Structure 1
């Protein structure tokens, strides 16, 4: 029979055991604490002194919830749970183990509660985001005369912020003043945060009443102004803080100020802040360094961003992503890919932001292989469930003309939100598949996804490409029913959609019914008239726009020029360009000059067009479109000599474009130079230039049919071929009859 040790009623009888457990607990060696306790239990030794158990319960909260429950059960059997101090330790054990309901049960069963009891249970609720229950406990405790500690007060104020309880917050503010806690900085700053959430006027009033404002107090007020698009005010407050009140800055406030400079795109101020951060010894702060990289990147100065990046001694994934975003934004795609390689070499694992940036690179480079490579990395690192990554993948595959892969990615997603549906609609539209885009929208409507402005804009774009007026009107009706048509962007897209379907009257009606119009709306309507061969109406609308006090922008003027060019209004176009030069001067873009060249060339004024090109400002170099306009005019007016020179310029600027080869081939063919025409076409094939076939859009029975040369798959192709053959026969008969009449007249 095993020898049982007697029950020990006093800690003093086994001082070594108690001191050993206490020492182990002080050093956080929780496993050893429980091991010692277990040995004592196995030996049959029991302690009846409540002060022995708090370290045991602490160890249980860190190591084993089940063991802690056993200890609690043992204490109940021994009747030790009635001690308030031990009850507090039991509540603390359950709170730290996440068993809030068990903590509540123990708390409710306590016969005597002290301030520690209330603080523990209130802390437990707040720490587990049970703000409403925690706040209720606080007011219940106050009715018993409970005096909270500072940390409890800070958490109570946080609960008021989270629950948006302005009235309760003011009650607590009054209690803080009466109880003498007002002078404590952490309490003041917590109140300041709360009032900033309720409105800056309350926060500023409290801020002005504070006698001892530290860097945190200033940070709260300054951050509010930055977050609410008042960066200029934030910078002025920062100046006062440093210059007038001589407050020593820290890393967080420098990050906030750099954010203000970023929002304002104020490069000079950002440079000064950078110098100030260096002078205050904050250049080694990784978070400040990341903010500097982000600032320079968003100000399109990636060279400075790279320098700031190199000065960060310990870089994290945010450091790399900030510079990567800068390269992507500045369209330095090769540098972005090289940076990603360096990131992998440095052993930094990419995250969702990294992959979204890389997919943006793929989108611009239109490299399917690179897109698939990044997709494989996403799968290997387990980021395929991230919605932002998935949406970026769909868009990138579409821009790489891999619409099948984009659709597969979309179909495999477990949950498609509004952004995903919108992205898929845009993907089909981009890949010249408007019918499929509209079908996706219909499918989205069946699953009752909420519509938003972006979805409607993508749908309108698909309808514009589809060209069927009935569907376009239906899309317009959906926007009206969902109260989206009144938005300026939606109204503008509607009139643009109608104009691309050839329904210029519907465009004008949509324009007239827009409750608010901006420069973009007027420009879109002017462009619609120009696109539909109504340049005089476009000029008239431009005059009306100016009479209402709206100044046209460069896009408006480009639309006017284009309308005059396609409508043959040379004098009016020249007048528009003169006004453009007078109003905008150096701001005029290359496209405006190219459009004027097109205007002159279309009218047969080749000499004037070439002279205009020769006299362009030094900063402007003629584009391929300008020389293509010259080449097109040479084809129409039979100037193959001039056209040969224009062709050389087009091929120099756009060697992979098919437009130059086709125009030159047609130019030589129209002049009867068949061998030269054939040689140019052969040269185009050898260069690998891809020819995108033009098409005709025909409306039959309220449906739009697209016909491409050689297309035999269209539903109306056979009927159309029969019709064309009949038309051809009638034309022959007409020609023969005309020849017979002419011959009779000659006789």
Structure 2
């Protein structure tokens, strides 16, 4: 090698070495510059290139990194340097980090002389990429072939056992580590502590933690994270204070562990500033995510701006926060920002955006993101497809829902649940039933979400017998009857006219949630059991539950059916004055119904005049219904004109006026109203009755 070539290579080797700690410049770009300088790369060049690529941001963007890794592989193959064991092992590790496990396995299988380092790289690669069973089986294969595992082997393997299905395998590895004397290594102990915590065995995690003679900051972070994962936020904070008392210096991982432990993020933010680690990109990103999750978009945005280099995680958190509040204009701004930075949204960000499209005014934005998903290939992702199904379901576009569903190559249970729920929400329970039978034919076992959707479908169609079959399925499969399943079952029995069975289910629930109480109160109200509805409201209050808007809708419905105006007035005032609940249009319509049916027309008109929001057709319609009951023709005619201006296609308006005129024997007016009704496209007979046929 000439002196000039030697100096040139040294210069580029220095650059590649620097890239192992910095992430600003592409290692492949430096390599290309080397080739353009007519320098011949050596095995050291490729070794540094592989290390730089593995440790830099090269490995963080898999879409761009995989083709670049293939280019490096081609150069290695052409030069013959790939035959060197340490080069092959290093490149195997790079492929594993990028998730190219087939390529990594191919390199591994082609190795004439495998060493423990190569086994470790492949085992760790499978573990990091979620191939937990493959990682464990590879470990067994390694031992059978006579290789002696090292501490690094267990550190790479143990994380793959951090779930209940693999807890036995995890304990087996622990036992192996004890027998081989590897458990004394602090990194192995930390990995085992984390594994036991993720499997819910906090006692095992605590024993390992206490056994450590010298606890590094990694050990403390692992145990703080363990408490956080298991919801023991108080213990996480106590342990953090012990750590500080023992003068262990906190780092960025400590802050992120505390944030994941749901400890007051503002306190942790202050600590990060005091400790001088608030400028760490990972800490800032975590804080952005927490502030965004708490709905403090303003603080999240300020922190996001402080990042020296934009990253997709913090941008996704901001997008999710704006989408959650329905601020789609800011979502679009963030999206434009990501495009300027050549960042592609991932499936999580797309789903957040789609969930935010709730207002019909933003349907165009939803369609635009659907187009973006098609262009980028994100629509193939199951989560995104389900998000699109949910979005189109909200706007009753069932044709689009079916099209998306049948285009899916794989249809997991969550996708079946999405389309079944979408059909029920759109009032097409019959289609939901058909899909449910198809789902069972394909061998899928319904879960609690499926059953809850199907119970809602039975409520729509009045399918009591099929609802009972679903109830039997719940009992046979020991599905938890608390919360939404119990509520859906009670609602089904009530709407199918079986209040006694609804009561039996309600009494069987140990601690009914507010939604369950509301369903029972509303059920009694619409079924005419006023006293039972009000006694259940009183019982709800005795148990310390705070009623909400739905509770008072049920209570007012009971007062309407019982004709008790005084009680209705009292509960309406309790709702506003005692609980500070602002009445919605539904509450106002209920009060107008109550007053007008009782003949208190002046009070009803005064109530409407004092409403904070503009009365809609439901409010005026409630007053018109009262006019029909008390044969108030003049007021009824005045209200009919108002309703006609609000919604002239409302068939209920014409039916009410026809009935009002008929009650007074005004047959010419009846004929006139019926003719207007026909001219607007309705005939007053668009209702439907359902009966359930049982064999």
TM-score (norm 2): 0.72
The secondary structure found in structure 2 opposite 1:401 is coil
Residues 216-365 of structure 1 correspond to what in structure 2 (within 5 A)? 216-242=218-244, 244-261=245-262, 269-365=264-360
Q: CA distance change for structure 1 residues 542 and 67 in 2, over 3 Å: closer, same or farther?
A: same
Q: Name the structure 2 match of 1:457.
A: 452
What is the CA–CA distance in structure 2 between the aligned matches of 1:295 and 1:577, rounded to whole Å? 38
Q: Decide whether aligned partners of structure 1 residues 556 and 15 sit closer, same or farther in structure 2, where only a CA change above 3 A counts.
A: closer
Contact 1:132 1:159 in 2 (8 A): no
Deviation at 1:525, TM superposition (A): 2.6
Taking a change above 3 Å as real, the CA distance of residues 522 and 319 of structure 1, as seen in their structure-2 partners, is closer
Q: 1:465/1:409 Cα in 2 relative to 1: closer, same or farther (>3 Å)?
A: same
Q: Given the superposition, is the C-alpha separation of residues 360 and 33 from structure 1 closer, same or farther in structure 2, using an over 3 Å criterion? A: closer
SS at match of 2:599: coil
- The count of residues paired between Structure 1 and Structure 2 equals 621
In the alignment, does 2:374 pair up with 1:379?
Answer: yes
Counterpart secondary structure, 1:415: coil
Larger radius of gyration: 1
Shift of residue 233, structure 1, vs aligned partner = 2.7
- Provide the rounded CA distance (Å) in 1 between the counterparts of 2:2 and 2:308: 51
1:715-730 matches, cutoff 5 A:
none
Distance 1:506 1:635, change over 3 A: same
Counterpart contact for 2:287–2:300, Cα < 8 Å: yes
Q: Return the alpha-carbon distance in structure 2 between the equivalents of residues 91 and 274 of structure 1.
A: 44
Q: Secondary structure at the match of 1:553?
A: coil
Pairwise CA distance, 1:418: 1.1
Cα offset for 1:694?
8.2
Offset at residue 390 of structure 1 (A): 0.7
Q: Offset at 1:379?
A: 1.0
The 3-state SS of whatever aligns with 2:374 is helix
Question: Are 1:294 and 1:322, in contact at CA under 8 Å, matched by a contact in 2?
Answer: yes
Change (3 A) 1:627 1:99: same
Matches within 5 A, 1:542-691: 553-554=547-548, 555-574=550-569, 576=571, 584-587=578-581, 590=584, 595-609=590-604, 624=616, 629-630=622-623, 632-634=625-627, 636-637=629-630, 662=653, 666=657, 670=661
Residues 550 and 89 (structure 1 numbering): CA distance in 2 closer, same or farther, change over 3 Å?
Answer: closer
Question: Which residue among 414, 436, 441 is the counterpart of 2:436?
Answer: 441
Deviation at 1:229, TM superposition (A): 1.7
Shift of 1:93: 8.4
CA displacement at 1:454 relative to structure 2: 0.6
CA 342–136 in structure 1, closer or farther in 2 if over 3 Å, else same? closer
Alignment of 1:459-474 (within 5 A): 459-474=454-469
What TM-score, normalized by structure 1, do the two folds share? 0.68
Question: Residues 289 and 508 (structure 1 numbering): CA distance in 2 closer, same or farther, change over 3 Å?
Answer: same
Query: Which of 678, 685, 698 is the aligned partner of 2:689?
Result: 698
- The question of whether the paired residues in 2 share the 8 Å contact of 1:24 and 1:33 is answered with no
Q: Deviations over 1:74-120 (max 9, x none)?
A: xxxxxxxxxxxx9x76995896664476478646xxxxxxxxx5555
Distance 1:452 1:429 in 2: 16
Matched residue SS, 1:165: helix
Name the CA distance, whole Å, in 1 between partners of 2:248 and 2:644: 63
1:363 Cα offset (Å): 3.6
Deviation for aligned residue 1:342: 4.1
Kindly state the Cα deviation for residue 386 of structure 1 after the two structures are TM-superposed. Answer: 0.4
RMSD value, Cα: 5.1
* CA distance in 1 between partners of 2:401 and 2:496 (Å): 28
- 2-side partners of 1:699 and 1:668: how far apart? 24
2:401 to 395, 401, 406: 406
Q: Specify every segment of 5 or more residues in structure 2 that has no aligned partner in the other structure, as ranges.
A: 17-29, 51-71, 94-103, 128-134
Aligned to 2:60: none
Distance apart, 1:393 and its partner CA: 1.2
1:520, CA displacement in angstroms? 3.6
Structure 1: how far apart are the matches of 2:265 and 2:637? 52
1:608-662 Cα shifts (integer Å, max 9, x gaps): 445667888xxx768646565445435644668878998999999xx67977994
2:689 aligned counterpart, secondary structure: strand
Residue number in structure 2 paired with 1:530: 525
C-alpha separation in 2, matches of 1:57 and 1:279: 40
**Corresponding residue for residue 59 of structure 2:** none
Q: Residue 384 of structure 1 aligns to a residue in which SS? A: helix
Cα distance, 1:612–1:662 mapped onto 2, change above 3 Å: closer
Distance 1:69 1:643, change over 3 A: same
**Partners of 1:609 and 1:284 in 2: CA distance:** 61
In 2, Cα distance between the equivalents of 1:503 and 1:153? 59
Deviation at 1:200, TM superposition (A): 2.4
Distance 1:647 1:330, change over 3 A: farther
User: Hey, what's the Cα distance between the residues in 2 that align with 1:641 and 1:281?
Assistant: 76
Task: Provide the rounded CA distance (Å) in 2 between the counterparts of 1:196 and 1:510.
Answer: 37
Which residue of 380, 389, 392 corresponds with 2:384?
A: 389
Assess, with a 3 A threshold, how the Cα gap between structure 1 residues 240 and 539 changes in structure 2: closer, same or farther.
same
Question: Which residue matches 1:113?
Answer: none
Q: Distance in 2 between matches of 1:303 and 1:656?
A: 41
Q: How far 1:381 sits from its partner (Å)?
A: 0.9
Question: Separation in 1 of the partners of 2:414 and 2:231?
Answer: 25
The Cα shift of 1:220 comes to 0.8
What is the aligned partner in structure 2 of residue 496 from structure 1? 491
Question: What aligned pairs does 1:204-215 form with structure 2 within 5 A after superposition?
Answer: 204-215=206-217
Relative to 1, partners in 2 of residues 1:132 and 1:358: Cα closer, same or farther, differing over 3 Å? closer
Partners in 2 of 1:485 and 1:125 — Cα distance? 39
Distance 1:666 1:345, change over 3 A: farther
Q: CA deviation at 1:448?
A: 1.7
- Provide the C-alpha distance between the structure 1 equivalents of 2:357 and 2:545, rounded to a whole number of angstroms: 38
387-396 or 551-560, which deviates more: 551-560
Partner residue of 1:706? none
Q: Which runs of 5+ in 1 are unaligned?
A: 1-13, 40-51, 73-85, 108-116, 704-747
Following superposition, the deviation at residue 358 of structure 1 comes to 2.8
Q: 1:173 to 1:574 in 2, by over 3 A?
A: same
Shift of 1:451: 0.6
Instruction: Answer yes or no: is the 8 Å Cα contact 1:573–1:596 preserved in 2.
Output: yes
Alpha-carbon displacement from aligned partner over 1:52-87 (angstroms, at most 9, x marks no partner): 999999999955787799997xxxxxxxxxxxxx9x
Q: Quick check: 1:362–1:371 contact (8 Å CA) kept in 2?
A: yes
Match of residue 67 from structure 2: none
Shift of 1:326: 0.9
Instruction: Say which of 166, 171, 174 aligns to 1:166.
Output: 171
